[in-house]
Structures are given as C-alpha cells and as structure tokens.
C-alpha cells in the first residue's frame, strides 16, 4: 500500500468527483492500492474552476477536510505521453508536461481519517491501512454523507 498527499479541492475531486488522473512531476513503478490523503494545503485559486465545479466541490462535505485520508483508489497505470509532448486519452483532468497516474476503483471513505502526509508517494503505517480497511468493510453505502448537492 502507498499513499499520495493531494491539495484540496483536487483530493475531493478524486474521492467524489470522478477525477481519475493524478498529475505528478515524477513517474512511479508502483501499481496497486493507493490512499488518497488531503494535504494541509489548499489550492484556493482552483476552487472556482469549471473542472472543480463539475466535480461537485462542496466545502461542507466531510471529505473536503484537510490533513486526512479520504479515499482508497487503485493505481493502474502511469501515462508518460504528456511529458514527451504527445497526446493521450487521459481526459479532462490530465495536465500537460505531467505524468498521469491513472486511478480506478475509487472508494471514498465514510468519514476522513486524520493522518500526517509526507512527500509523495509515501508508505502508510499498518495501523492506518487497517483502519481504512475496517472502515470500508463496515460501510454499508459509501455516499451516506452526501449533503445536499
């Protein structure tokens, strides 16, 4: 298991908004489960962007929090086309000149788990991984905290 720390509102867009590409300056050989951690920093300039609005960004949603793990995803592939100036089919979330970490099977947590982030990607402690698995196993429905969108 590995984890990435993502600024809000981008972390929320992964957890709830169908953002299936994580844009990073570096590639990774890792494939497998990936925790989505909302870092302590906020990209304020992006909160009103059309892309973020399309993701249903809602500051009152529990997963709009800072400093917590908010979702579990699967890292399936890393697209290198954009860093070579080539086109790709990674969709509207993909940025130029970046490695596109492609995510699948994103599962938002029923509630955030407070955790410290590190430099991407980082290895979550076993206790955190256990907590995530326990929470997802007991979650009847992932979207019970959907507050009026």
* Contacts to Zn ion by CB under 5 A: 79, 81, 88, 90, 94, 100
Q: How far is the CB of 119 from Zn ion (least distance, A)?
A: 23
Measured in whole angstroms, how far is the alpha carbon of residue 80 from the centre of its chain?
19
Which residue, 85 or 148, has its beta carbon nearer to Zn ion? 85
Q: How far is the CB of 80 from Zn ion (least distance, A)?
A: 8
Which residue, 69 or 98, has its beta carbon nearer to Zn ion? 98
Contact 12, 64 (CB under 8 A): yes
Which residue, 1 or 88, has its beta carbon nearer to Zn ion? 88
Q: How far is the CB of 4 from Zn ion (least distance, A)?
A: 17
CA torsion 132→137→139→141, rounded to 10°?
110
Peptide bond into 83 cis (omega under 30): no
Q: How far is the CB of 42 from Zn ion (least distance, A)?
A: 26
- Give CB contacts under 8 A, 24+ apart, made by 78-83: 78/27, 78/28, 78/102, 79/21, 80/27
3 state SS for 42-59: ECHHHCCCHHHHHCCCCC
Q: How far is the CB of 99 from Zn ion (least distance, A)?
A: 8
Which residue, 77 or 146, has its beta carbon nearer to Zn ion? 77
Which residue, 8 or 23, has its beta carbon nearer to Zn ion? 23
């Amino acid at each position: 298991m590995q984890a990435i720390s993502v600024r809000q509102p981008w972390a929320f867009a992964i957890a709830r908004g169908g953002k299936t590409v994580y844009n990073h300056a570096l590639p990774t050989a890792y494939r497998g489960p990936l925790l989505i951690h909302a870092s302590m920093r906020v990209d304020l300039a992006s909160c009103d962007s059309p892309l973020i609005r399309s993701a249903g960004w809602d500051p009152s949603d529990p997963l709009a929090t800072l400093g917590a793990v908010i979702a579990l995803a699967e890292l399936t592939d890393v697209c290198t086309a954009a860093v070579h100036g080539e086109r790709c089919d990674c969709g509207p979330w993909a940025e130029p000149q970046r490695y596109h970490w492609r995510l699948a099977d994103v599962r938002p947590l029923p509630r955030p788990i407070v955790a410290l982030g590190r430099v991407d990607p980082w290895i979550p402690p076993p206790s955190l991984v256990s907590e995530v698995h326990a929470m997802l196993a007991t979650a009847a429905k992932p979207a019970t905290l959907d507050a009026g969108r």
